[in-house]
Structure 1
Amino acid sequence: MRPDDWHLTDEPREFREWAGGFLGSRPALHTVLLTVLDALCSRGRHLYSDEVPLFGVARGEGGRVGAAFLHTPPFPLHVSPVGGEGAEALVARLAGVGHRLGGVSGEHAAAAGLAAAWQRRTGAGVRLVQRQRLYALGELSVPEPSPEGRARVAGTGDRALLMRWYDAFKEAVGQSAGQGAGPWADARIAQGGVTLWETAEGEVVSMAGVTPASAGQVRVAPVYTPERLRGRGYAGAVTAQVSRAAVAGGAAHVLLFTDLANPTSNALYQRIGYRTVTDFAVWGFGD
């Protein structure tokens, strides 16, 4: 593959025209590309920062798209599964236009290949930041015993709580970048995209969000329970409920990511009925 086989644009709608069919052909593997692209198309390309994003597709014979990426600074570039030649060509293409990267994420082999290609090309140090596992819902199994209380969809009266918990979630996972808590809460409330678990006494104790449907897939994110309330089954109960609602809403694929360094969450989601799709990784680049 040659560097010029990678076609670049900074317009999300043009990227969707190029890559929409390719991304929709494997919606589980392309879940991040699909959901981020939809958000940018509906809410503007500066959703995550003032920096201009970059998108690209690799075209083969007949103009057929075989790989794709998006880069929304300050996040790492996210790439679809791509072989070694494709990774080398992408790095050469990006270097040729002077595009800088702080890291890469994607399916584990693709991310590792691109990180290695970037290191060879630039001499930059690379480090593995996080190993993730992508799960897809099989047969839903509600965890037993279920905690007392009920699930409900978050509304406008929950906005302040959602903002606090969104910031707390980002701090817990070490994520400082991204959209602000207010815009995130407003978008999720408008979508009906956050489910809360409320005790019999009316205390809200856990939340599980879900992305808007795209190409038949939705992704559960984020799941958050305040530290003082963990270990009581709230996260499992609210995740099971939001998963059931996604299936009832017509989702063909209900997905979620876990940090492989967290055995508790990995075991929990498997008990609910989530099954491994594949592993992903996040690599950071240094000087």
Structure 2
Amino acid sequence: MTAQLRSASWHFTDDVDEHLDRGGDFLRSRPDLHTVHLTVTAQLRLRGPRAYGDDPPFFGLLTRGDGGVAAALLHTPPYALNVTRLTAAEAEALAVRLLALGHPVSGICADAATAEAFVAEWTRRTGAPGKPRELQRLYRLAELTPPDPAPEGRARMAASSDRDLLIRWYDGFVADAGLHGGRDAAGWADFRLSYGGATLWETADGTPVSMAGLTLAVAGQVRVGPVYTPPELRGRGYAGAVTAEVSRSALAAGAAEVLLFTDLANPTSNGLYQRIGYRAVADWALYEFGAVS
């Protein structure tokens, strides 16, 4: 173990304000790589500690000997552990600390190298196999290129009268993505409606056919998602049109970085987002830990 790693240590808390007071500058230093951490903690501040599930959130900061922050950890059970970039040695040290604390870890989501290093160490120490659930790519908007030709219709911000539709479509997105967790669709819809965080594409007769969400702006970044079109309406360009529109509106509102994640197993969505101007930043991996055999 290097002297630098020996002088570093993890500090944990369940207080989001304490976590951001100490680690906010580090998180804001790379808003793109830390987008999930920034947006989730912002929602926890606004909506309270049960925003993502019944269990309280758990936060961690890896600090160097000089007091500077080297990495951050976020856990909102039942979702996977979310960690910023770690070296292999730092991932090992984190696994050791979490095991010593008895903190349960059902999975990890991080950049691919960090996730792989943590999974290898966790499996070695616990016997629980790490199973890859999803490989993702983080994209940043470079130069917006709206679809040409655009599909018929127009975009509009979702209103309170669209609440039931947003709930159904959020449930549809979760089912399609194979997600599971503690966040209810009604809570998601209400929060997005509270700040204009959902946009619909509707046909000329006013029928909604697709939606794209947008997170709150934090540290100059916003993230597009979820993007959802009902199965029977796919392949008509609606998703590209509504994504381009929320991207345009985010830029117009002053966002410095517009980001989104895609599932690397879906070539259609990856191709779509690149055509409208998104460029790759980093690859992410989500692993789940199975039962010890």
**Under a length normalisation based on structure 2, what TM-score does the superposition of the two structures give?**
0.96
Q: Percent identity?
A: 56
Give the structure 2 partner of residue 216 of structure 1: 220
Where do 5+ consecutive residues of structure 1 fail to align? Answer: none
Residues 140 and 258, structure 2, Cα contact 8 Å, conserved in 1: yes
Which of residues 169, 174, 180 is equivalent to 1:170? Answer: 174
Which of residues 137, 154, 159 is equivalent to 1:155? Answer: 159
Alignment of 1:3-82 (within 5 A): 5-82=9-86
Secondary structure, aligned partner of 1:61: coil
Amino acid at match of 1:125: P
For residues 6 and 41 of structure 2, the distance between their equivalents in structure 1, rounded to whole angstroms, comes to 25
| TM-superposed deviation, 1:120 | 1.5
For residues 99 and 124 of structure 2, the distance between their equivalents in structure 1, rounded to whole angstroms, comes to 12
For residues 41 and 78 of structure 1, the distance between their equivalents in structure 2, rounded to whole angstroms, comes to 18
Alignment of 1:137-156 (within 5 A): 137-156=141-160
Residues 169 and 224, structure 1, Cα contact 8 Å, conserved in 2: yes
Residues 91 and 118, structure 1, Cα contact 8 Å, conserved in 2: yes
Alignment of 1:59-208 (within 5 A): 59-208=63-212
Per-residue CA distance 1:117-164 (angstroms, 9 max, x = gap): 111221211111110000000000011110111100001010000000
Structure 1 segments (4+ residues) deviating >6 Å: none
Secondary structure, aligned partner of 2:51: coil
For residues 167 and 178 of structure 1, the distance between their equivalents in structure 2, rounded to whole angstroms, comes to 12
For residues 149 and 166 of structure 1, the distance between their equivalents in structure 2, rounded to whole angstroms, comes to 22
Residues 135 and 256, structure 1, Cα contact 8 Å, conserved in 2: yes
Secondary structure, aligned partner of 2:12: strand
For residues 230 and 102 of structure 1, the distance between their equivalents in structure 2, rounded to whole angstroms, comes to 34
Could you tell which deviates more after superposition, 47-56 or 224-233? 47-56
Secondary structure, aligned partner of 2:265: coil
Per-residue CA distance 1:189-231 (angstroms, 9 max, x = gap): 1110111001001110000000000110000010000000000
| TM-superposed deviation, 1:2 | 4.5
Secondary structure, aligned partner of 2:245: helix
Secondary structure, aligned partner of 2:66: helix
Amino acid at match of 2:196: G
| TM-superposed deviation, 1:176 | 2.1
**Under a length normalisation based on structure 1, what TM-score does the superposition of the two structures give?**
0.98
Amino acid at match of 1:176: H
For residues 43 and 95 of structure 1, the distance between their equivalents in structure 2, rounded to whole angstroms, comes to 30
| TM-superposed deviation, 1:62 | 1.1
| TM-superposed deviation, 1:178 | 3.3
Residues 8 and 63, structure 2, Cα contact 8 Å, conserved in 1: no
CA RMSD after TM alignment: 1.1
Give the structure 2 partner of residue 236 of structure 1: 240
Which of residues 250, 255, 260 is equivalent to 2:259? Answer: 255
Secondary structure, aligned partner of 1:277: strand
| TM-superposed deviation, 1:4 | 7.2
| TM-superposed deviation, 1:24 | 0.2
Where do 5+ consecutive residues of structure 2 fail to align? Answer: none
For residues 43 and 279 of structure 1, the distance between their equivalents in structure 2, rounded to whole angstroms, comes to 29
Secondary structure, aligned partner of 1:27: coil
